[in-house]
Amino acid sequence: MTKPTDFAPHGKHLIGSTWVAGSDSFASAPAHGPSHRFSVGTPAHVDAAVQAAETAFETYGVSSRADRAAFLNAIADEIDARGDAITLIGCQETGLPEARLQGERGRTTGQLRLFADHILAGDYLDRRHDPALPERKPLPRPDMKMVQRPIGPVAVFGASNFPLAFSTAGGDTAAALAAGCPVVVKGHSAHPGTAEIVAEAIHAAVARCGMPAGVFSLVQGGRRDVGQALVQHPLIKAVGFTGSLVGGRALFDLCASRNEPIPFFGELGSVNPMFILPGALAARGSEIAKGWAGSLTMGAGQFCTNPGVAVVIDGTDADAFVAAASQALGATGAQTMLTDGIAQAYRSGQARIAENEGVQEVLKTTCQGREATPYLYQTSGEAWLADPALGEEVFGPLGLVVRVRDEDEMRAVARSLHGQLTCTLHMDDSDTALARAYVPILERKAGRLLVNGFPTGVEVADTMVHGGPYPASTNFGATSVGTLSIRRFLRPVCYQNMPDAILPDDLKQAQR
């Protein structure tokens, strides 16, 4: 196993099988520990990486599921072999605690191994067969078979808030490689050392499994022209992205404006509202408030599923809920944010909420530099409905309580929501009829509905949907977590009257 002290970043890009330096470099800005220099990516690096990916697709796209599963498991093994070193540099670069990085590494390797098992099972291929009916009248039917096939090279943008699970070897990369698609990753400048060591793990797995050199590349840093060159490269067939609404929308528009438009699978975040129904509010409002505070401040609130809004019916039970939430949040100390830029954006978002005339301050704290402290505000249902800006995400530990007049106004707030990753109902048995009325509304707003829980923590499983209507994501029919995410990088192909000898191997044993 690699010792933490054994890894010193060399700062190069991985283009196919070669580590390549650039003519320009940038310095990392770790939360603590040493800074390192990394090469700045260029459109030329992007082109070389994508060309290598296209060449690799000629063989990797027709590789066996067994070979790809072995490759995914090898990547997981190589990441685990570098576990301590990954934790050390990941903590230095992001300020996240060791336990968080260790847990995220387990999630990263777990989803790689999950996809290995998933493709071996073969259900994702959705194989279909309509046998020929030569005697059918008035016209005969040809023999037709259908299967899902990989789409080609995929671009993946590393996420700022998940240096492992949504970055170099994260869910997008795992799903694309499982599907048979080579991947070009644009590393996030917030954690370039973590990206590099994970890329080394993938590089080792490529050699170990005899995979084509261009099956994976990492381009570090770079300015906007690098991201633009990647999504507009004519050989890229899809893009996976986790990040801000502004950045994601810009890339989405670039994908749509290409001569050949391609799908942009962007996960852009949301406020993840919680609706606390009257029975639950009366019976255990304070308990829910304390749980909310814990979820709201987890990881300094830097989760795309952070539940930033709680909706309650006004009255004494709402007073008790707000007081309990304020007390719990007030006991939370300052936390280090992932980057200086994220910390500044949090302060700007907090100021935007605080300056809104329809909002009242409940808990005020002070934060500066790279630190975040929690804030709590409240507003009326009427003010919420009048100002859509109150529904915009503040990325950090800031909570907003929306106090509605009655059940009708709570329902109006639910209907007013833009697309969300999650919506939550807190309910008791006495709230069942009311909750039943909310489900048809909320399932149109979010990809995941929860009852009596908190949305932070996204299980990697067959049933998980991590996506939702825009602006939570740019494709409401997709998920970026769970085995269903592989469908983003596949397309159905029908083979008519084709002899078995030239069919894809996955179809030769196709059954109705």
Catalytic residue numbers read 267, 304
Burial, 137: exposed, middle or buried (Cβ in 10 Å; 0-12, 13-18, 19+)? exposed
Which tokens is 372 given? 């975040």
Sheet containing strand 238-242, edge to edge, reads 18-20, 13-15, 216-219, 183-186, 154-157, 238-242, 264-267
With the CA atoms of 172, 177, 180 and 183 taken in that order, what torsion angle do they form, in degrees rounded to the nearest 10? 80
Burial, 392: exposed, middle or buried (Cβ in 10 Å; 0-12, 13-18, 19+)? middle
Using DSSP's 3-state secondary structure scheme, residue 499 falls into: coil
Q: Is there a contact between 41 and 84 (Cβ–Cβ < 8 Å)? A: no
Rounded-to-integer distance, Cα 144 and Cα 496, Å: 4
Q: Is there a contact between 328 and 317 (Cβ–Cβ < 8 Å)? A: no
Rounded-to-integer distance, Cα 268 and Cα 473, Å: 5
Residues of the chain by 3-state class (helix, strand, coil), percent to 5 = 45, 20, 35
Residues with Cβ within 8 Å of residue 234, at least 6 apart in sequence: 258, 259, 260
**Which residue in the block uniquely carries the two structure tokens 């934060």?**
367
Q: Is there a contact between 146 and 494 (Cβ–Cβ < 8 Å)? A: yes
Rounded-to-integer distance, Cα 23 and Cα 39, Å: 7
Q: At what angle do helices 65-81 and 83-94 cross, to 10 degrees?
A: 70
Residue 136 phi, psi (nearest 5): -65, 140
Query: 428 vs 114, 141, 432, CA distance in Å?
Result: 35, 56, 7
DSSP assignment of 431-479 equals: GHHHHHHHHHHHTTTEEEEEESS-S-S---STT-----STTSBS-TT--
Rounded-to-integer distance, Cα 158 and Cα 180, Å: 20
DSSP assignment of 306-372 equals: ---EEEEESSHHHHHHHHHHHHHHHT---EE-S-HHHHHHHHHHHHHHHT-TTEEEEE-----TTEE
Is the link from the previous residue into 138 a cis peptide, with omega within 30 of 0?
yes
